Chain A
């Protein structure tokens, strides 16, 4: 059973545009929500993460928006670049326990 639902499955954005990936969860006990970035042939790498006590976290061009009441969170990539082309996974966990991953979004940023 998928505990974290992610959409869209794939996304094409023009260079300079905004990429938006959404995730939803059901378990209100989740208290940590990371995003992982995976390039072809590599393992996923932690990109940015948020805890439910804040509604937004920004690191450079990457922003997580978190809506606790709706049990949703999203990743925004501002000024998307071709180098951002990768697969992005959202995840959720409880108190430092193992991560529950979404199915991933394949992002392609066209020049």
Chain B
């Protein structure tokens, strides 16, 4: 298995632009997680899907952030409009259903908003 796949690996954009990050979970995994990692705040859980349904989005910082999971093999995290403070590494992770404590992380997307 290729593991969790994220794209792009790096994204540089200007303030105000829309950014879309993509994730393909491990085949057969029913749970998907989006995290944001910064030096100041560490790893923060943004949103958690189970069987394509958002279970907990309390970590989404504000309305500029939205996430979707249209099917079991694809999820997006969108930031519109982006701001410099959104600069971070965004990770997607997946796990088997009810095994959220054993998550497999993707390589991350490094986002820089100028």
Chain A interface (Cβ < 8 Å from any Cβ of B): 2, 32, 34, 36, 41-46, 49, 89, 93, 96-104
Check if B62 is an interface residue, CB within 8 A of chain A. Answer: no
Residues of B close to A89: CB separation below 8 A: 42-43
Q: Known contacts A42-B107, A44-B105: does B42 contact A97 (CB below 8 Å)?
A: no
Cα A46 to Cα B49 with chains together (Å): 20
CB < 8 Å A-B pair total: 55
Residues of B close to A96: CB separation below 8 A: 98-101
Q: Known contacts A43-B108, A98-B33, A98-B48: does B43 contact A104 (CB below 8 Å)?
A: yes
- A44 & B101 in contact (Cβ 8 Å cutoff): no
Chain B interface (Cβ < 8 Å from any Cβ of A): 4, 33, 41-43, 45, 48, 56, 91, 93, 98-108
A-B contact pairs, 10 of them (CB 8 A): A43-B105, A46-B103, A96-B100, A96-B101, A97-B100, A98-B45, A99-B101, A100-B45, A103-B43, A104-B42
Nearest-neighbour CB distance to chain B for A27, whole angstroms, equals 14
In the A-B complex, the 8 residue pairs with the smallest Cβ-Cβ separation, listed nearest first, are A43-B105, A103-B42, A101-B43, A32-B101, A93-B101, A96-B98, A98-B48, A44-B105
- A99 & B42 in contact (Cβ 8 Å cutoff): no
Cα A3 to Cα B85 with chains together (Å): 23
Residues of B close to A97: CB separation below 8 A: 100-101
- B105 & A34 in contact (Cβ 8 Å cutoff): no
15 more CB-based (< 8 A) A-B contacts, given A42-B108, A49-B102, A104-B42? A41-B107, A41-B108, A44-B43, A45-B104, A45-B105, A46-B104, A49-B101, A93-B100, A96-B98, A98-B56, A99-B103, A100-B45, A101-B42, A101-B43, A101-B45
Cα A41 to Cα B105 with chains together (Å): 12
Nearest-neighbour CB distance to chain B for A19, whole angstroms, equals 19
